[in-house]
């Protein structure tokens, strides 16, 4: 199944380290970062899930929940969880989906045969409170993800949902933003501070207060 930005993220019910969860009900009213990892008891995955656990407070600030998945059975997830906590210094604090029959992985197109086997690649899906798919990222199995970038994108998505703006290259929260081309300069000046026209189609302004 091919998923596109703007699609409704498919719902599913699955066994997890937090018990049986239905995805849409679990994330109701929240953003979600749903991501796959190739296998339990592997080095890169241990660092990634540990980093996710350490970011619990940052996700909470953004009304965001995290959920991981691999095709390993639930017994392996539970056995691996102490390693994640030991390596990261933060106990596992989000659910890991057990998907041994690959139902969810296939629903989200997480298995890429060209990557060598039938385990999942490092897919990331950011889903908004209306269950709309807002971001997809796919990393190869050998490369750990940048979770600071995932946080940054959530900040950008939430900022652009609040105001008629876009974010420029390498944008960080608090930096200047780009005014929507659909807004006149007069209207932009009335709404935003320090509007500067670089080109008729490129106008910067101070970031609105959240």
Please list the active-site residues. Answer: 45
- Taking Cα atoms as reference points, which of 205, 209, 176 lies closest to residue 193? 205
Whole-angstrom distance, CA of residue 140 vs CA of residue 163: 34
Q: b/e per residue, 103-133, with b = 16+ CB within 10 A?
A: ebbeebebbbeebeeebbbbbbbbbbeebeb
DSSP assignment string, 80-136 = HHHHHHHHHSS---S-EEE-TT-HHHHHTT---GGGSSSS--EEEEEE-TTSBEEEE
Backbone angles phi, psi at 14, to 5 degrees: -150, 160
Note the residue count of the chain. Answer: 210
CA proximity to 156, closest of 94, 96, 117, 207: 207
d(CA 13, CA 23): 6
Residue 8 and residue 40: Cα distance in Å, rounded? 29
């Amino acid at each position: 199944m091919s998923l596109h930005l703007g699609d409704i993220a498919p719902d599913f019910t699955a066994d997890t380290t937090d018990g049986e969860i239905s995805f849409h009900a679990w994330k109701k009213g929240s953003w979600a970062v749903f991501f796959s990892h190739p296998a339990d008891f592997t080095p890169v995955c241990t660092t990634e899930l540990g980093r996710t656990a350490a970011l619990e407070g940052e996700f909470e600030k953004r009304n965001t929940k995290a959920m991981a998945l691999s095709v390993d059975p639930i017994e392996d997830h539970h056995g691996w969880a102490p390693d994640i906590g030991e390596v990261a210094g933060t106990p596992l604090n989000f659910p890991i989906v057990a998907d041994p029959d690959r139902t969810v992985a296939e629903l989200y197109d997480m298995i890429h045969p060209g990557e060598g086997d039938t385990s999942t690649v490092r897919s990331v899906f950011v889903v908004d409170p209306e269950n709309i798919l807002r971001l997809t990222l796919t990393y190869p199995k050998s490369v750990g993800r940048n979770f600071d970038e995932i946080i940054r994108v959530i900040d950008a998505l939430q900022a652009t949902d609040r105001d008629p703006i876009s974010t420029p290259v390498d944008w960080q929260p608090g930096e200047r933003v780009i005014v929507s081309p659909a807004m006149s300069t007069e209207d932009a000046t009335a709404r935003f501070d320090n509007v500067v026209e670089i080109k008729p189609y490129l106008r910067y302004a101070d970031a609105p207060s959240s």
